[in-house]
Amino acid sequence: MLDILAANRDGSVFSQVHEIDFDREYNPMVTFGRGIHACLGQQIARMELRVLWSTRLRRLPTVRLAVAPEEVPWRPDDTATFGPAHIPVTWE
Ligand code: HEM
């Protein structure tokens, strides 16, 4: 299995690989795969993400982590995907 997340953070392809940059002009990311097996649901996923982020930024502009980044609990490492178990946040 190829590590798509690592490919998206390839410093020889992307500038400031660890920054979220909504205005990134050159962005050949491979989050949804490429070619014949590229994700069939990517248009709905992109729409959901647009709604999520625009709503989130409009309703909770001050939201931020409620704990230090290293204290965010991660799911066990024995799955094909990984990520936080949950993300404690706070806002004014
Ligand atoms: C953020 C959300 C999503 C991500 C990151 C994602 C990512 C991917 C990736 C990496 C692949 C594999 C491409 C490959 O094998 O080379 C894939 C395949 C696929 N995805 Fe998604 N996906 C997402 C959401 C969805 C949704 C919402 C649907 C359906 C409504 C969907 C349906 C599919 C299908 C059917 C395939 C298989 C395509 C094939 O093998 O021909 N995905 N997706």
Cβ 87 under 6 angstroms from ligand 1: no
Residue 24 tokens, joined: 């990134």
Q: Which amino acid is at 60?
A: L
How much of the chain exceeds pLDDT 90, in percent?
60
Every domain of the chain and the residues it spans: 1-59, 63-92
Cβ 8 under 6 angstroms from ligand 1: no
Residue 2 has pLDDT above 90, yes or no: no
34, 39, 51, best to mutate for ligand 1 pocket (most atoms within 8 Å of CB): 39
Model's pTM, two decimal places? Answer: 0.81
Residue 41 has pLDDT above 90, yes or no: yes
* Helix/strand/coil for 8: coil
State pLDDT tens for residues 45-78.
999 999 998 999 899 999 999 999 999 999 887 7
39 close to 33: Cβ distance less than 8 angstroms? yes
